[in-house]
Amino acid sequence: MAKVPPGVGPRFPQVVVLFGATGDLAKRKLLPGLYHLCAAGFLPDYRIIGVSLDDIDTAAFSARTREALAQHFNRPIADDDWAAFAERLAYVPLSAGAAALAAAAARAEASIGQDSQRLHYLSVPPSAALSAVRTLGEAGLMANARIVMEKPFGTDLASAVKLNRAVHEVFAEEQIFRIDHFLGKEPAQNILAFRFANGLFEPIWNRNFIDHVQIDVPETLGLGQRSAFYEQTGAYRDMVVTHLFQILGFMAMEPPTSLEPQPISEEKNKVFRSMLPIEPGDVVRGQYNGYRDEPGVDPQSETETFIALKCFIDNWRWAGVPFFLRTGKRMAEGQRIISIAFREPPKSMFPPGSGVGAQGPDHLTFDLADASKMSLSFYGKRPGPGMRLDKLSLQFAMRDTGLAGEVLEAYERLILDAMRGDHTLFCTAEGIEQLWQVSTKLLESPPPVRLYEPGSWGPKSVHQLIAPHAWRLPFERAWRNPNQSGA
């Protein structure tokens, strides 16, 4: 694997303590991500200690890790890179207690030297987060440490406040990195570049020019092994109060005074403070047919696997502009888009039947898929006699720049940032508590779930929610593929 130049990663060797080391996220993202960072030479040196409920030993953990890489690491794995990685793995079952964890950490630290730093990664559900923090406290692993916490951070305002308070008893706020992997995606950061590095769009980025905004993240995947976790969580807590609102924060915030963590968090938090409470009447909750038959799911379950809602940011920039958010499992397509619909011109001189406005308003669309894409669609004249209009578009795809191979996977990028102590792309306690506050009314009186067919776009009432507008997805015109002739 190509090695990165020194100085890009953290300065000091890292001891990573990974709670939830045999879980789904660790297998799919964290272990492959750590392997990539280690094999590519981002870290001066490292040791990784897996911790979980499974009563296995280091050899079995290493074998499971190798299996996870075989399934989820999509680059070649060189034997010597793997051997170097495997040699640095250790495992402590939770049942062995804090003393065993402390001993494993001491062994790891002794083998890589005095100046190492600790990175604790809690890849555990909200119900287990506190006990993991306490175990770290009992093991005395607070000093020289950073702790990465996975969402959802609590399940409502009261539990988030309680969790933050309890974590603060062991770790100081500057040691805590609340991760939201959507913010580690290149296209999400590109929203900031696009908005603030160019003069063209910022002047029209407000209620005078923008009619409404859609943040739409349908997924085709179901729940796999995760139904027991999901049954307690649902689409709102799993996706909206976390990823979709964070993206909304980037899309809607004022220009920060600098690209430093504090000014960025402050601007995002101002957006969250300006949000009006989510009204249950502005929400459609859905559940796909068949969810209740899945293992670990209550046959009477009211957990939503789909949610669509309308929300408002009541500040000078955005007052009156509806933001429509949608996400769900087992839907027709997997997409992640932000679509900004501009206001229509005040008056049209085009003759009836010319086609102006017939295909919705002009739009700017960001595709947050790993290889980022953008499209600006507008009405233009169809060649030939008379005045017939068509929807045309300017499109950009990162793939065409030849730089797409340099993209770090979102978790890799964020793990590296946490190791370097950079909070820019992480969430603050205040921001999260504010988002729970905005959600209280909905969590207290959720509308009933409506069934939808797997492979569809959700319950029918999603169309009423957005009327008189329409969901951009499914796209009427596919993204242009520059490799196809005639495109």
- Please work out, in degrees rounded to the nearest 5, the angle formed at the alpha carbon of residue 254 by the alpha carbons of 248 and 259: 95
45 is in an annotated binding site: no
460 is in an annotated binding site: no
Which positions touch ligand BG6 (CB under 6 A)? 181, 219, 238
Q: Which is nearer to ligand BG6, 238 or 412 (CB)?
A: 238
Tell the smallest beta-carbon distance from residue 238 to ligand BG6 (Å): 5
Q: Cite the beta strand spans of 80-144 per DSSP E.
A: 89-93, 117-122
Tell the smallest beta-carbon distance from residue 304 to ligand BG6 (Å): 12
| Catalytic residue of the set 36, 212, 243, 423 | 243
Peptide bond into 474 cis (omega under 30): yes
What does 313-350 look like in DSSP terms, one character per residue? B-STTTTT--EEEEEESSBS----EEEEEEPPPS---S
Q: Which is nearer to ligand BG6, 23 or 93 (CB)?
A: 23
Which position has the token pair 């968090």? 265
Name the residue number minimizing CB distance to ligand BG6.
238
DSSP 8-class letter at 445? S
268 is in an annotated binding site: no
Compute the distance between CA of residue 471 and CA of residue 325 in angstroms, rounded to an integer: 10
162 is in an annotated binding site: no
422 is in an annotated binding site: no
Read off the tokens for 68.
């996870």
212 is in an annotated binding site: no
Read off the tokens for 188.
């999400």
24 is in an annotated binding site: yes
The reply to whether 469 belongs to the active site is no
Compute the distance between CA of residue 18 and CA of residue 122 in angstroms, rounded to an integer: 6
Tell the smallest beta-carbon distance from residue 409 to ligand BG6 (Å): 9
Residue 269 near residue 431, CB atoms below 8 Å: yes
Read off the tokens for 36.
């990539």
Q: Which is nearer to ligand BG6, 181 or 363 (CB)?
A: 181
Q: Which is nearer to ligand BG6, 28 or 168 (CB)?
A: 28
Residue 112 near residue 66, CB atoms below 8 Å: no
Tell the smallest beta-carbon distance from residue 181 to ligand BG6 (Å): 6
Tell the smallest beta-carbon distance from residue 272 to ligand BG6 (Å): 19
Q: Which is nearer to ligand BG6, 23 or 261 (CB)?
A: 23
- Please work out, in degrees rounded to the nearest 5, the angle formed at the alpha carbon of residue 227 by the alpha carbons of 225 and 233: 130
Compute the distance between CA of residue 47 and CA of residue 87 in angstroms, rounded to an integer: 9
End-to-end CA distance of the chain: 35
- Binding positions for substrate: 181, 185, 219, 238, 329
Binding-site positions for NADP(+)? 20-27, 151
- Active-site residue list: 243
Q: Binding site: which residues?
A: 20-27, 151, 181, 185, 219, 238, 329
